[in-house]
Amino acid sequence: MEWMWNRQVVLAALASLGDKGELGPPCRLEELLDLERRLDVRLPESYRDFVLRVGDGGAGPGHGLWPLRRSAKWADRGVYAPRYLATPFPFTARVPGERFEELDEHADYEDALTGSMIIAEIGHGAYFRMVVTGASPGRVWRDEVRGLRGALTPGLDFADWYANWLLRLGALKGTPAGRRRLV
């Protein structure tokens, strides 16, 4: 997916979306390294490459990609407890929402999802969450535990997830092998 890491190609693909197709500028390497140091992790390669070469936040599935600085604010405010992202994500298959019903709505819910970070909001209490550490770093999960469907569902690696979104919009031509409906 060499095209994925070319900002101009992605911006051209997004042009058909008008103002909803805007991307933030790429992240500076120093900022990324500082955030990784504060979070005590190395972010997944496909995501790192995207934010460094294509853009940090902006057009994407759901209501768009969150910029890294939003995660940095979470880290600074202690939303992610020390080593939260460094602790492996515990799931490898779909998890029904009932699994989370006994947990406290705020603290325990997030505590159960260590090793992952929200990268986009879907709406109605649902998010796209990317695994940072664990069995499948870079995999994007659909987190609807508090949403309408009440489940945590695994998806594709970040690069394939983003490409799938562009293809579904018709913003990019071609059909990737194994494409699934995620957005």
Q: What digits encode the pLDDT tens for the residues 111-167?
A: 788 899 999 999 988 999 999 999 999 999 999 987 666 899 999 999 999 999 988
Q: Per-residue confidence at 42, pLDDT binned at 50, 70, 90?
A: very high
Domain-embedded: residue 149: yes
Domain count, the chain: 1
Domain-embedded: residue 178: no
Taking the CA atoms of residue 46, residue 118, residue 141 and residue 131 in that order, the dihedral angle to the nearest 10 degrees is 50
Phi, psi of 170, rounded to the nearest 5 degrees: 80, 10
Domain that holds residue 66: 2-169
At 173 the three-state DSSP class reads: coil
Domain-embedded: residue 33: yes
Between the ranges 19-33, 127-141, 169-183, where is the mean pLDDT highest? 127-141
Q: Is the pLDDT of residue 180 over 80?
A: no
Q: Per-residue confidence at 47, pLDDT binned at 50, 70, 90?
A: very high
User: In the prediction, which pLDDT does 183 show?
Assistant: 32
Domain-embedded: residue 176: no
Domain-embedded: residue 108: yes
Domain-embedded: residue 175: no
CATH number at residue 120: 3.40.1580.10
- 7 and 54 Cβ atoms separated by less than 8 Å: yes
| Both tokens assigned to 4 | 């994925």
Q: Which amino acid is at 63?
A: H
Q: Is the pLDDT of residue 29 over 90?
A: yes
User: In the prediction, which pLDDT does 83 show?
Assistant: 81
pTM of the model: 0.86
Domain-embedded: residue 12: yes
User: In the prediction, which pLDDT does 78 show?
Assistant: 57
